[in-house]
Structure 1
Amino acid sequence: MKTPRSLLLVLPVAVWLTGCAVTQVSSPAPVVAPAAFKESGPWESGRWQRSASQNPSARPEAWWTVFHDPVLDDLVSRLAVGNENLRGLAAQVNSAKATVDASRSALWPSLSVGPSLTRSRSATSANGNVVGTSAVNNSVALSANASWEIDLWGRLSQASAQAKASYQASEDDLAAARLSAQSTLVQTYLSMRTAEAQAALLTRSLQAYDKSLSLTQARYDGGLAARSDVLQAQTQLKSVQAQLAESRAQRSQLEHALAVLVGVAPSSLSLASGQGVLPAMPAIPRILPSQLLQRRPDVTAARHRVEAAYAQIGVADAAYFPSLNLSASAGYRHDSLAGLLSAPNLFWSVGPSLTEVIFNGGQRELASAQARSGADQATATYRQTCLTALQEVEDNLVLADQLDQEAQFLTEALDDARRNLDIVMAQYQGGTVSYLNVVAAQTSALSSESSLLQVRNRQLAAASLLLKNVAGAWSMEEASGDAPAASAATKP
């Protein structure tokens, strides 16, 4: 079988042109990150640490372990496999991966093979008049067909690049959702432990108030106290009992929320109560703004969507140029199965075809304009995502610094309130002050300790949120030394 000379000329040219993109679209200017965060007080004061991670784009797998809580570790592990929202996003990632594979398959030739059997009869005519019919003809064929769209202008390769970038964005979306779910679980768990600590505080206060009531009742029975003192002591006791019931209900509600986060019914999750002690504040490694923009999955997802949008421009612009298809077929055809596969019955054909759209109502121009608008929108979204990421960290740093100061002031206030309570109780037992002074001192001490607990919870929540906003903390072994140098500009 001889190959036509024209085909020998077409093939090398087609192969040489394959993958040549028509449109060379320049990427948008990079996002310039500041050299350091404005609100870096906790790091500058030495309360937090500087990261020594040598890979700023690496994402940690277990940032929550900085709280050193095995129960929390187990809950986060269950979240990874049980959370229904994450399962749905994982399915979207699998769908995007299938789209990538489908776009790549379009770059390859297609091959089909199959038999055919036809029976036909036609009319015969003479001088424009039908004079009879021909005999019935049978045709049996066995053929193979191949076709290949040669990617002259990069349309198929750009479509593949667009699908790949979209797939990478969906992976980043899953990572961002996982990080957000982990942060929500950690904050919910810490709030539950805070409710337990609050309940423990109120239980201790109940014991103290009960003793005060007994003391006041004895003084009343001895004629040393008024009936109003007893009523005030009872009122104070009942008030704390009501607060205790509220704290226990809050603890149960937070446990229910944890159950839903890990993908089980609330009745299926029962966590043992803690000791009423909150975990210590973790050391948070320092991170540079440029590192942040490389680590945050929502930022990288937006950057991949920019890449996908620019690839779509190439797809749209390639439609202005003709498409080249190379097709070939070969097989056997005969009027019966007998002798079908003999040499005289062999047929074949091969050749290129070039197709150019002459008119389609301006669809190509509209598609190109739409692609460019999509790229502009994706770029703006990416830049806004970067700015939001920087803002969230700055806000967290301000909040952390503020909460540190609040905790210090409340600790001092609690010490003063406890000393005042000791003095007032001694004065009351000595008969020099009324029970109103005792009530005020006890209320002040309880309020100060309760406020300090809430600030501790807010500190832990802020630390968890900051870890989430910097895409997690490095391991504690790495959380020392100086941060590596990083580029101040991050390209989309």
Structure 2
Amino acid sequence: MHKVLQSTPAVALVLSACCALLSGCAAGPDYKRPELTAPQSLTRAPIASSLPASGDSEISSQWWQAFGNAPLNAMVQEALNNSPSIEAAQATLRAARQNVIAQRGYFLPSVQVGYNPSRQNAGQSMSAPLNNGDSLYTYHTSQLSVSYNPDLFGGNRRQVEGLEAAQENQRLQLQAAKLSLAANLVAAVIQTSMLQEQSSLLEQAVQAAQQQLQHMRKQQASGYASGMDVATQQTLLLQLQQQLPPLQKSLEQTRNLVATLMARSPDQAPAILPLSDFKLPLLPQVVPSQLVEQRPDIRAAETQVQQASAAVGVATAARLPQLGLSAAYGGGATSFARMFSAANITWSLGASLLAPIFDGGTLKAHQKAAQAELEASAASYKSTVLSAFQDVANALYAVDTDTRALQMSQDSESASQTTWKLSDSQLKAGYASLPTALAAKQSWLQARAASVAAQGGLYGDVVALYQSLGGGVLNTAAKAETP
């Protein structure tokens, strides 16, 4: 084989020319990010939320730690380690990475070796193919084949570019899956804490209403209360009791959700964390122009634009000539030992150039279709960005509104608690009746439950804000953690 290559300098010249062509421009457009104009502000007017801000626009990839709850941190980490959805996303990313490696292999020559022994009988009606005149013989052949298709117009480069964009898309999908899992789990854990405390407060209110009904019946027996008074109190008790089953159902279902998100079965749901163990995080600074870089769904939509751009290049290169080079070296003989003797050596060199002349407009239509898909993916990318701006704006308005709602609920709770304490003191001093004190206690318990609901709602809004800002999964630290 070495002598063959030395005797054919034209092959080396052709290969050198191919390498020079490979360094040229690839067919189709070079990718450019679609132009976007980020707004100066995401809200129509400045939101003067009373919540403290951190002043930092970069979010930690472990943003849930801002709630200051160690058991919550452990639960999120367990979910990230064991979640089947994360495992599936990681496997899909590995597959995308191997697809890139496989496509890059087409840049190199393909080398194959073959060995073929065969038992043959030429028969008596034909001349014997062997010099010794034998018509029955065993023939051994072996061959080393090299084929190479130079990427003259960059079709393979565009294929690799598209697969690399697909690989990046899967990496971003993995980060998005982690963000979604963490956000859903944190929100569900907070929801269980809120529902548990609401249920406890409502059960206390039911107990107070039962005591009040018993006292009212005693008063009726003594002639100090009418049947209407008893019926009214009984109706209030039943109304309170009717609120319990929906709360308990939501609580159990949310606990099942927490267990599932942690890759546990429902019977292995973790203990409920007290709502008082959570602290309100400092809100991150919202910079609209940074959302394009921080949100994995926006970046994933951009990779789809890049894939579509590469597909245009692939379709364009398909309309241009394709060059193929081949070489083979081998031998054949009736005995294995003599296959590579000087008299039995075989070799060949070949080149092919294939250019489309007429295809009924198929290749041109494919190119136009790829261009249209590029325009569609660019429009979809812009739509994703607008939806992201909407998500953040919604979260900001929700945080602002629920902050004020929580303050009003806390004020109402404080006033109701003061009334109950005064009524209880007057009851002990003999200046107030038991029904009055019990009614005040029920009012405070209901106000407390409303305050708990408002607190849980605000915490949920903060989780939604972190998620809408990308959860820090694409910042520098998170990128360093990505394998």
Shorter-chain-normalised TM-score: which range?
A: 0.7 to 0.9
What is the SS of the residue equivalent to 1:32? coil
Q: Distance in 2 between matches of 1:420 and 1:199?
A: 22
Mark the CA change 1:249 to 1:71 in structure 2 (over 3 Å): closer, same or farther.
farther
Q: Distance in 2 between matches of 1:196 and 1:427?
A: 32
Number of residue-to-residue matches in the alignment: 461
Query: Could you tell me which residue of structure 2 aligns to residue 76 of structure 1?
Result: 76
Does residue 11 of structure 1 match 2:15?
A: yes
Deviations 1:218-276 (CA, angstroms, capped at 9, x unpaired): 66676655565556555545544454454333322211111222223212x13324445
Deviations 1:371-406 (CA, angstroms, capped at 9, x unpaired): 111111111111111111111001110111111111
Q: Distance in 1 between matches of 2:221 and 2:274?
A: 38
What is the SS of the residue equivalent to 1:66? helix
Deviations 1:431-486 (CA, angstroms, capped at 9, x unpaired): 88895x76765554343222221111110111001101111269xxx9xxxxxxxx
Does residue 280 of structure 1 match 2:273?
A: no
Letter in structure 1 aligned against 2:459: L
Q: Is the 8 A contact 2:185 2:258 kept in 1?
A: yes
What is the SS of the residue equivalent to 1:286? coil
TM-score between both structures, scaled by the size of structure 2: 0.85
Q: Is the 8 A contact 2:295 2:470 kept in 1?
A: yes
Query: Could you tell me which residue of structure 2 aligns to residue 128 of structure 1?
Result: none
Query: Could you tell me which residue of structure 1 aligns to residue 365 of structure 2?
Result: 366
Query: Could you tell me which residue of structure 1 aligns to residue 99 of structure 2?
Result: 99
Identify which range, 244-253 or 37-46, moves more after superposition: 37-46
Q: Distance in 1 between matches of 2:419 and 2:456?
A: 26
Deviations 1:301-342 (CA, angstroms, capped at 9, x unpaired): 111111111111111101111111221111222233242232
Q: Distance in 2 between matches of 1:23 and 1:238?
A: 73
Q: Is the 8 A contact 1:236 1:439 kept in 2?
A: no
Q: Distance in 2 between matches of 1:382 and 1:229?
A: 65
Q: Which runs of 5+ in 1 are unaligned?
A: 54-58, 125-131, 479-492
Q: Is the 8 A contact 1:19 1:152 kept in 2?
A: no
Query: Could you tell me which residue of structure 1 aligns to residue 251 of structure 2?
Result: 251
Q: Please give the residue correspondences for 1:101-250 in structure 2 after superposition, counting only pairs within 5 Å.
A: 101-118=101-118, 132-135=125-128, 136=135, 139-206=139-206, 208-209=208-209, 212=212, 216=216, 225-226=225-226, 229=229, 232-233=232-233, 236-237=236-237, 239-250=239-250
Q: Is the 8 A contact 1:50 1:287 kept in 2?
A: no
Deviations 1:48-80 (CA, angstroms, capped at 9, x unpaired): 221164xxxxx7432111122233223222222
Bigger helix fraction: 2
Q: Is the 8 A contact 2:50 2:403 kept in 1?
A: no
Q: Distance in 1 between matches of 2:147 and 2:285?
A: 57
Letter in structure 1 aligned against 2:250: Q
Q: C-alpha root-mean-square deviation of aligned residues, in Å?
A: 3.2
Letter in structure 2 aligned against 1:133: M
Q: Is the 8 A contact 2:147 2:327 kept in 1?
A: yes
Q: Please give the residue correspondences for 1:332-343 in structure 2 after superposition, counting only pairs within 5 Å.
A: 332-343=331-342
Q: Distance in 2 between matches of 1:165 and 1:106?
A: 18
Q: Is the 8 A contact 1:294 1:300 kept in 2?
A: yes
Mark the CA change 1:14 to 1:319 in structure 2 (over 3 Å): closer, same or farther.
same
Q: Which runs of 5+ in 2 are unaligned?
A: 129-134, 478-483
Identify which range, 233-242 or 153-162, moves more after superposition: 233-242
Does residue 35 of structure 1 match 2:34?
A: no
Q: Is the 8 A contact 1:39 1:397 kept in 2?
A: no
Does residue 452 of structure 1 match 2:454?
A: no
Q: Distance in 2 between matches of 1:100 and 1:138?
A: 44
Q: Distance in 1 between matches of 2:382 and 2:358?
A: 38
Q: Is the 8 A contact 1:166 1:308 kept in 2?
A: yes
Deviations 1:93-128 (CA, angstroms, capped at 9, x unpaired): 22222211111111111111111234556699xxxx
Identify which range, 155-164 or 335-344, moves more after superposition: 335-344
How many angstroms does 1:420 deviate by?
4.0
How many angstroms does 1:177 deviate by?
2.1
Q: Is the 8 A contact 1:19 1:157 kept in 2?
A: no
